[in-house]
Amino acid sequence: MRTKAVSAKWLAAVLVCSSATASSAAPQTQVLTFELWLAKAERGDASAQYIAGFMYVRGQGVAQNLPEAARWLRASAEQGNANAQWSLGTLYELGFGVPKDYAEAFRLYGLAAPRGVAEAQSSLGLYYLEGLGTERNYGEAYRWLRSAARQGLKEAQLGLGRMYENGLGVPHDLVRAYMWYSLPVETSTRNTPSQQRDALAKKLTQDDIERAQAMARACLQSNFSDCN
């Protein structure tokens, strides 16, 4: 996994919305002020602890403070809040407010992914793919990337494209790789180029590309349920 060029502002954006769809991990913070959320958090409310941590990340209603964000996200995560587990894992991955620790990030993603947090599934799949914080396991990488990709996560779709392009635990299939590389472009609201897709196109015939494009359209029309 390439190291991300990040800032605290970027991290806040990640925790708000990290996918093509509205992030499942983004809480609704407008109802109460930070002070009221913090008061609920101090009384042990796991959801409020998550929101307080989230607001510390964003600097929403309070000065941005990543160590405090980590403290409240950890309190919520320890009570089983899956979104807090994923968010805290992201802090450990980036070394924001806590020491960088891929093994701890992997552990936290592993707690959140089975609970349905698509972002955690994508991160977990990429960790298995790269062998970050764990041994490489292409079967588990495919399992979690596939789940996240079907929920529209662009990083997961690109990860699957890489697996098919290189035959990593799946058949070597450049057409299917092109399809997966195409999906983030097709679902983007901007005219976003795809370096992976465009580089791969040089290895394909025009018939191959048209077949991959038809597969991508079928995948999108089925809301990611028919991507085989």
Q: Report all structural domains of the chain as residue ranges with CATH numbers, in order of start.
A: 1-136 (1.25.40.10), 153-228 (no CATH)
pLDDT at res. 163: 98
Q: Which two tokens stand for residue 136?
A: 């490489």
Q: What is the DSSP string of 164-211?
A: HHHTSSS---HHHHHHHHHHHHHT-SS----HHHHHHHTTS-HHHHHH
Helix extents (H) in 5-116: 8-16, 34-42, 46-58, 66-78, 82-94, 102-112
Q: What are the average pLDDT values for consecutive 10-residue runs of the chain, which has 228 residues?
A: 46 48 52 88 96 93 95 98 96 96 98 96 97 97 96 94 97 97 75 81 96 94 87
Please say whether the beta carbons of 157 and 184 come within 8 A.
yes
pLDDT at res. 108: 98
pLDDT at res. 9: 46
pLDDT at res. 6: 44
Q: Which two tokens stand for residue 120?
A: 């955690």
Q: Which two tokens stand for residue 206?
A: 């025009």
Query: HSE-up of 110 (CA within 13 Å, CB side)?
Result: 13
